[in-house]
Chains A and B, each alone.
Chain A
Amino acid sequence: MTAAALGLLVLGNWMGLVWTPSEREMGDVYRIIYVHVPAMWMAMLTLTVNFSCCVAYLLQSSWKTDALAEATAEVGLLFGSYGLVLGAIWGKPTWGTYWDWDPRLTAMAIMLVTYVAYMALRRFVEDPERRAVWSSVVGIISFVNLPIVWFSVKWWRSLHQVQSTPKTVDPDMTLALRVNAWASLILLTLFLLHRYRIALATREAEVAMPEALPTDVPGSRDNRASEVA
């Protein structure tokens, strides 16, 4: 699977950088869509999975769902931030500025900060069961932003163009975009699986042997608490 991801990434990058034609107005600068757009798709996808996990956990508690929620929030945040940074790099030569308070950019930034808060909450709650329930609630509340981000380019016609999809880009560019999207999807799955295993192992250790977790002094969970805080 790793080999498939690497292979597709190399192919996708070659297609994006060499094989596809230059854009009429932007020239070669546009080529960042082959990484920026898939990254954002993956972020949206992952955070949607996070939302499903949060709902599922509240309906039926399971450590697997909670572990997957933790993994998706973190990986989604990673892809979202990566996409946002790529967008900013692209914005400088195209819009003349790294950052603009455009509805799309603003909504995306707000959404990422809400997921940073979600991750912070997970660190600040000791009891695994309470953490799972509370972070599910926060995850559901945070997800309200995602549709706003997605539709912001349609609701407020502003600086950011309508999303690039195989329907809106030139046919010559569709295949390269698709290959890159599949490469990102496989990479994302790898990240998720890895993070999910870590989360599950941590959770099992916490639930099975709460006392066996590393602490400074035996029986002093508060000490560890202040360390993390």
Chain B
Amino acid sequence: MRGARPISLLRTVGVLLAKDLLIEWRTRARLNALIFFALATLLLFSFAVGPDTKVLARNAGGYLWLALLFASVLALGESFRVEQENLTLDGLRLAPADARAIFLSKALGNALLLMLLGALLIPVMVALYGVSVTMGLGSFAATVTLGCMAISAPGTVYSAIASNARARDVLLPLLLFPLIIPALLAAAKATSLVLQGDPMNQLGSWYGLLIGFNLIYWGLGFLLFPRVIED
């Protein structure tokens, strides 16, 4: 398992990712629940803050990321529960699938799911908060991609841990939230700039922070994940 060639590692990642996405697609109830949860969160912000469109539009970046963060806890928590029900994680490791490939496929799958959510939330934000995407959809997509990847890498490691521990529903947010504050901050700031325009040219430095965060945590997850799921 150690020393597996990069090609076979990538192929395993592809196979596992396809499997996870297929399960996700066939059990659409879960996906729908996730989408409606995120939508409801956005709606709740407008009730909690009051129907002042200016305030809502100004804070839209922060609200979007809070909605995604809350939804990510549900998505991440589910990602290993599926494997546990029929002990398929043990099956995967006996296959044998490289544990690092399991990490990459799970983290990529979670990131894709969150990106999909992010894409679905824009039209809702436009309708509810009256925002406009000043910098173009390309920058918005880049921000959502970087931010979702930043949540999913440490989130996947922690959800593998939490899904086996007691009080897993408490443990995952407890571990994850403080850790990803820098990424959340950068993603929310970058989104605000994308929505409102970037006259001071600050977007690049927030992207830098997000890329750095991603490199660190994808690297750490890749190295440490095999130890997390060993028995």
A residues less than 8 Å from B217 (CB atoms): 141, 144
Interface residue count on the B side (C-beta < 8 Å): 23
Which B residue sits closest to A129, measured CB to CB? B231
With A114-B179, A120-B174 in contact, do A137 and B227 touch (Cβ < 8 Å)? yes
Cα separation A117 to B171 with both chains bound (whole Å):
8
Q: Do the beta carbons of A138 and B178 come within 8 Å of each other? A: no
- Contact partner, B161, options A58, A110, A138, Cβ 8 Å: A138
The answer to the question of A130 belonging to the interface, with a C-beta cut-off of 8 Å to chain B, is: yes
Interface residues of B in 191-231 (CB under 8 A from A): 216-217, 220, 224, 227-228, 230
Cα separation A126 to B174 with both chains bound (whole Å):
18
Q: Do the beta carbons of B175 and A117 come within 8 Å of each other? A: yes
A residues less than 8 Å from B230 (CB atoms): 133
B residues less than 8 Å from A228 (CB atoms): 166
Cα separation A229 to B175 with both chains bound (whole Å):
15
In this complex, the member of B179, B216, B227 whose beta carbon has the largest number of chain A beta carbons within 10 angstroms is B179
The answer to the question of A46 belonging to the interface, with a C-beta cut-off of 8 Å to chain B, is: no
Cα separation A177 to B157 with both chains bound (whole Å):
41
Q: Do the beta carbons of A124 and B157 come within 8 Å of each other? A: no
Overall SS of chain B's interface: helix
Cα separation A228 to B167 with both chains bound (whole Å):
10
Q: Do the beta carbons of A144 and B220 come within 8 Å of each other? A: yes
Chain A nearest CB, measured from B119 CB (Å): 29
Q: Do the beta carbons of A229 and B167 come within 8 Å of each other? A: yes
A residues less than 8 Å from B178 (CB atoms): 110, 113-114, 116-117
Overall SS of chain A's interface: helix
Q: Do the beta carbons of A58 and B227 come within 8 Å of each other? A: yes
Q: Do the beta carbons of A137 and B224 come within 8 Å of each other? A: yes
Interface residue count on the A side (C-beta < 8 Å): 25
Interface residues of B in 162-182 (CB under 8 A from A): 164-167, 170-171, 174-175, 178-179, 181-182
B residues less than 8 Å from A137 (CB atoms): 157, 161, 224, 227-228
Chain B nearest CB, measured from A40 CB (Å): 19
Interface residues of A in 127-178 (CB under 8 A from B): 130, 133-134, 136-138, 140-142, 144, 148
The answer to the question of B154 belonging to the interface, with a C-beta cut-off of 8 Å to chain A, is: yes
Which A residue sits closest to B220, measured CB to CB? A141
B residues less than 8 Å from A141 (CB atoms): 154, 157, 179, 217, 220, 224
- Contact partner, A142, options B164, B167, B179, Cβ 8 Å: B179
1/0 contact string of B63-101 vs chain A (CB within 8 Å): 000000000000000000000000000000000000000
Which A residue sits closest to B153, measured CB to CB? A141
Chain B nearest CB, measured from A136 CB (Å): 8
The answer to the question of A125 belonging to the interface, with a C-beta cut-off of 8 Å to chain B, is: yes
The answer to the question of A213 belonging to the interface, with a C-beta cut-off of 8 Å to chain B, is: no
The answer to the question of A225 belonging to the interface, with a C-beta cut-off of 8 Å to chain B, is: yes
With A110-B181, A113-B178, A141-B217 in contact, do A121 and B224 touch (Cβ < 8 Å)? no
Q: Do the beta carbons of B165 and A121 come within 8 Å of each other? A: yes
A residues less than 8 Å from B220 (CB atoms): 140-141, 144
Q: Do the beta carbons of A121 and B164 come within 8 Å of each other? A: no
Which B residue sits closest to A141, measured CB to CB? B220
In this complex, the member of B161, B165, B174, B220 whose beta carbon has the largest number of chain A beta carbons within 10 angstroms is B165
B residues less than 8 Å from A120 (CB atoms): 171, 174-175
Which A residue sits closest to B178, measured CB to CB? A113
Would you list the 8 A-B pairs with minimal beta carbon distance, nearest first? A113-B178, A229-B167, A114-B178, A117-B175, A124-B165, A137-B224, A117-B174, A134-B161
13 contacts between A and B (CB under 8 A): A110-B182, A116-B174, A116-B178, A117-B175, A117-B179, A121-B161, A124-B166, A124-B167, A124-B171, A133-B230, A134-B228, A142-B179, A144-B217
